């Protein structure tokens, strides 16, 4: 007759305990029906081993060789239906479950790290960890601000410790032969996130203990954290059983549920908050200061954001908690990244994460645009910007729309910080400039500067000046409503020897006739919005000699004012 013996699943309680210990199942067959094998050989399976007895083997010697104590011979006898310790035929298969196998030392490897992560070994030796470091049982791990570490166990389970946390790797072992992990992580402060290899891969045990609880699971993704309310437990995949001494009936938390364990007991399971969404535009970050805006989630009191190099958020390099749904990160190199955001409820339980990819391309940083801005009243537009110490050349773009879909000028390979052109018609324009450096034997262009806009208006002009021989000279120019003016007359084209400089509210000027000679005149308008334009092109005019009457009036004839004959 064929029988099976199954070790029932158990829930382990320690103070306030959360534990799911793997059940192991082995076929238990009557003595006559046992599978035979070569004496002294071992058959390794997922849930344990089968040892084929040699001459003189007893349950006691087998228990002493393969388990932690010879006293396990009784358990082996019941499992294998061997009633007499010494009645084991040679070659008979003795089933030994993973739970009874001897444990040997294991280790954890650092697979991702950022910032300052310190280890104090079981011997008291202090050191800083790095990627590739190996840590052993008894090591105490602490992370500074903006410091993160992820460990990989031999079964490919992952333990991630965020910033401002402290954990003790209290137990890092594995069973002989089947290499089934036996792991206990003691959380002292902060948080720990565990992603445990599924039960089908091995029959190990994984526990995270905290001041009030132990969480033991297989094949699940969960978080345990210490906060002001107690011990927060959040299940993302799989399930976790929660219980206390005064509440012996376990409460199972499935994926998407969380609870807080306090001195008063296990809190009521609640739904974790939904994954937040990010406001559009985050996918490409073109400034050294990364900025993200989170869309509100009902019930959230704050939000937690982490920047990582991988989608699983095991290689974290920065994080932040904010109540205003805005996150800013600095001092991150250009590259491809992921942002993971969770909403936090009033119990300080973190919700379901949202993970999105983004690209940071902020270098070389663009120069700062100087001019033009707002308005331009000139025939030639001059674009100027600050010089960059690292830029080899610059690239300038001008468009008739803010999205730069209608580009009217795209000029690269500019070696100086200025470009002038007279090829624009009147209208509104947008412009930006980027730095270009040499990298890896080629050109690497950084992001464009913030977009600047300007309105190209008609340049200021002067009406034609004529000397009509009168005692008064009249000047005029085109004007717009609300403008005021500065008029200058000089005896040199550089306007260093000013004859007159006068501010006016109207677009005209009358002055007594100057002495005969050559003069230059120009005008500059200030708009109603206080924009000060450029001076008009200097206009040259000549005041000629003339005959006058004894009263000082011009002597005139049918042809106008009478002028002396030039010699």
d(CA 4, CA 206): 26
> What are the residues whose beta carbons fall under 8 Å from the beta carbon of 298, sequence distance 6 or more?
273
Residue 13: pLDDT band (50, 70, 90) is: very low
Task: Report pLDDT for 408.
Answer: 97
Q: What is the mean pLDDT of residues 301-327?
A: 96
Q: What is the mean pLDDT of residues 546-552?
A: 73
Residue 499, in any domain of the structure: yes
Task: Report pLDDT for 566.
Answer: 57
d(CA 356, CA 177): 41
Task: Report pLDDT for 305.
Answer: 98
Q: What is the mean pLDDT of residues 206-215?
A: 80
Task: Report pLDDT for 19.
Answer: 35
> What are the residues whose beta carbons fall under 8 Å from the beta carbon of 519, sequence distance 6 or more?
489, 490, 491, 499, 540, 541, 542, 543
Residue 17, in any domain of the structure: no
Task: Report pLDDT for 246.
Answer: 60
- Does position 32 have pLDDT exceeding 60, yes or no? no
Same domain, 210 and 75: no
Task: Report pLDDT for 4.
Answer: 35
Domain final position from 271, 304, 322: 271
**For residue 151, how far is the Cα from the chain centroid?**
22
- Does position 203 have pLDDT exceeding 90, yes or no? no
Q: What is the mean pLDDT of residues 116-126?
A: 97
Backbone angles phi, psi at 79, to 5 degrees: -65, -40
Highest mean predicted confidence (pLDDT) among 21-30, 193-202, 210-219: 193-202
Domain final position from 309, 342, 360: 360
Task: Report pLDDT for 215.
Answer: 74
Burial of 389 per CB tally in 10 Å (0-12, 13-18, 19+): exposed
Same domain, 148 and 248: yes
- Does position 185 have pLDDT exceeding 90, yes or no? yes
Mean pLDDT of the chain: 89
- Does position 502 have pLDDT exceeding 60, yes or no? yes
Contact in structure between 252 and 258 (CB atoms under 8 Å): no
249 versus 423: which is more confidently predicted? 423
Same domain, 351 and 315: yes
pLDDT in tens, 62-107: 999 999 999 999 999 999 988 888 778 899 999 999 989 999 999 9
Task: Report pLDDT for 58.
Answer: 93
d(CA 198, CA 455): 65
Residue 541: pLDDT band (50, 70, 90) is: very high
6 versus 521: which is more confidently predicted? 521
Q: What is the CATH number of the domain that holds 328?
A: 2.60.40.10
Please name the residue that has the structure tokens 């090591």: 139
Residue 516: pLDDT band (50, 70, 90) is: very high
Task: Report pLDDT for 347.
Answer: 94
Contact in structure between 166 and 140 (CB atoms under 8 Å): yes
- Does position 457 have pLDDT exceeding 70, yes or no? yes
- Does position 35 have pLDDT exceeding 60, yes or no? yes
Same domain, 467 and 542: yes
Contact in structure between 27 and 58 (CB atoms under 8 Å): no
Residue 452, in any domain of the structure: yes
Q: What is the mean pLDDT of residues 150-159?
A: 94
Residue 68, in any domain of the structure: yes
Task: Report pLDDT for 23.
Answer: 32
With helix as H, strand as E and coil as C, how does 129-144 read? CCCCCEECCCCEEEEC
468 versus 558: which is more confidently predicted? 468
Same domain, 424 and 297: no
Question: Above pLDDT 70, what percent of the chain?
Answer: 88
Q: What is the CATH number of the domain that holds 30?
A: 3.10.350
Same domain, 447 and 513: no
Same domain, 375 and 354: no
> What are the residues whose beta carbons fall under 8 Å from the beta carbon of 307, sequence distance 6 or more?
290, 316, 317, 318, 319, 329, 332, 337, 338, 339
- Does position 424 have pLDDT exceeding 50, yes or no? yes
Strands (E) across 335-449 are located at 335-344, 354-360, 369-371, 374-377, 381-385, 393-399, 407-414, 418-421, 427-439, 442-448
d(CA 318, CA 331): 10
Task: Report pLDDT for 25.
Answer: 39
Token readout for 34 is: 């046992």
Same domain, 436 and 354: no
Task: Report pLDDT for 469.
Answer: 87
Task: Report pLDDT for 243.
Answer: 62
Q: What is the mean pLDDT of residues 488-514?
A: 96
- Please give the residue range of the domain that contains residue 191: 106-271
Residue 562: pLDDT band (50, 70, 90) is: low
Residue 241, in any domain of the structure: yes
Question: Above pLDDT 90, what percent of the chain?
Answer: 74
d(CA 410, CA 399): 9
β-bridge mates for residue 187, sequence order: 167
Please name the residue that has the structure tokens 């954890």: 108
> What are the residues whose beta carbons fall under 8 Å from the beta carbon of 16, sequence distance 6 or more?
212, 213, 231, 243, 244, 245, 261, 265, 266
Its pTM stands at 0.77
Closest CA to 173 of 141, 202, 214: 202
Total number of domains constituting the chain:
5
Same domain, 128 and 261: yes
Same domain, 252 and 294: no
Domain final position from 47, 68, 103: 103
Cα Dmax for the chain: 155
What are the CA-CA distances from residue 62 to residues 56, 91, 244, 534 (Å)?
Answer: 10, 13, 37, 101
CA angle 69, 215, 268 (to 5 degrees): 140
Residue 559: pLDDT band (50, 70, 90) is: low
Residue 2: pLDDT band (50, 70, 90) is: very low
Contact in structure between 432 and 450 (CB atoms under 8 Å): yes
Same domain, 354 and 335: yes
Q: What is the mean pLDDT of residues 433-453?
A: 96
Q: What is the mean pLDDT of residues 44-51?
A: 90
13 versus 141: which is more confidently predicted? 141
Token readout for 423 is: 């090829």
- Does position 3 have pLDDT exceeding 80, yes or no? no
Least confident of 1-10, 142-151, 287-296, 490-499: 1-10
Contact in structure between 377 and 360 (CB atoms under 8 Å): no
Residue 477: pLDDT band (50, 70, 90) is: very high
d(CA 97, CA 49): 7
Same domain, 156 and 234: yes
């Amino acid at each position: 007759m064929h029988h099976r013996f199954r070790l029932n699943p158990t829930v382990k309680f320690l103070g306030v305990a959360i534990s799911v210990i793997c059940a192991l199942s082995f076929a238990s067959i009557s003595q006559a029906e046992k599978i035979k094998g070569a004496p002294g050989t071992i058959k390794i399976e997922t849930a344990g081993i089968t040892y084929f007895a040699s001459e003189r083997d007893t349950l006691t010697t087998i228990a002493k060789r393969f388990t932690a104590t010879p006293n396990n011979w009784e358990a082996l006898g019941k499992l294998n239906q061997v009633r007499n310790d010494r009645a084991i035929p040679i070659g008979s298969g003795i089933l030994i479950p993973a739970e009874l196998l001897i444990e040997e030392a294991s280790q954890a490897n650092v697979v991702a790290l950022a910032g300052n992560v310190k280890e104090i070994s079981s011997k008291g030796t202090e050191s800083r960890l790095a990627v590739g470091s190996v840590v052993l049982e008894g090591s105490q791990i602490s992370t500074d601000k903006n410091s993160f570490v992820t460990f990989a166990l031999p079964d490919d389970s992952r333990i991630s410790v965020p910033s401002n946390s402290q954990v003790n790797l209290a137990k890092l072992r594995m069973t002989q032969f089947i290499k089934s992990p036996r792991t206990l992580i003691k959380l002292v402060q902060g948080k720990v996130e565990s992603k445990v290899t599924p039960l089908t891969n091995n029959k190990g045990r994984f526990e995270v203990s905290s001041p009030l609880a132990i969480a033991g699971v297989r094949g699940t993704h969960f978080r345990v954290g210490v906060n002001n309310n107690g011990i927060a437990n959040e299940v993302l995949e799989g399930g976790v059983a929660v219980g206390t001494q005064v509440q012996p009936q376990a409460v199972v938390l499935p994926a998407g549920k969380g609870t807080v364990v306090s001195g008063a007991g296990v809190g009521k399971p609640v739904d974790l908050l939904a994954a937040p969404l990010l406001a559009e535009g985050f996918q490409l970050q073109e400034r050294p200061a990364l900025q993200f805006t989170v869309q509100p989630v009902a019930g959230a009191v704050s939000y937690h954001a982490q920047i990582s190099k991988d989608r699983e958020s095991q290689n974290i390099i920065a994080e932040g908690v904010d109540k205003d749904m805005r996150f800013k990160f600095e001092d991150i190199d250009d590259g491809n990244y992921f942002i993971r955001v969770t909403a936090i409820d009033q119990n300080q339980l973190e919700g379901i994460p949202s993970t999105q990819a983004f690209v940071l391309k902020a270098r070389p940083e663009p120069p700062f645009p100087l001019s033009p801005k707002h308005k331009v009243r000139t025939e030639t537009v001059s674009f100027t910007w600050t010089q960059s110490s690292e830029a080899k050349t610059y690239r300038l773009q001008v468009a008739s729309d803010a999205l730069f879909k209608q580009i009217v000028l795209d000029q690269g390979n500019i070696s100086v910080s200025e470009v002038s052109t007279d090829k624009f018609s009147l209208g509104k324009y947008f412009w930006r400039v980027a730095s270009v450096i040499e990298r890896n034997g080629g050109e690497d262009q950084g992001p464009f500067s913030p977009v600047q806009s300007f309105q190209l208006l008609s340049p200021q002009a002067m009406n034609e000046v004529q000397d009509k021989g009168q005692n008064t000279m009249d000047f005029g120019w085109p004007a717009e409503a609300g403008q005021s003016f500065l008029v200058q007359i000089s005896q040199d084209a550089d306007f260093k020897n000013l004859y007159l400089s006068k501010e006016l509210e109207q677009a005209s000027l009358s002055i007594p006739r100057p002495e005969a000679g050559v003069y230059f005149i120009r005008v500059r308008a200030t708009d109603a919005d206080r924009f000060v334009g450029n001076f008009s092109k200097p206009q040259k005019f000549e005041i000629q000699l003339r005959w006058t009457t004894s009263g000082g009036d011009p002597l005139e004839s049918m042809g106008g004012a009478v002028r002396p004959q030039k010699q």
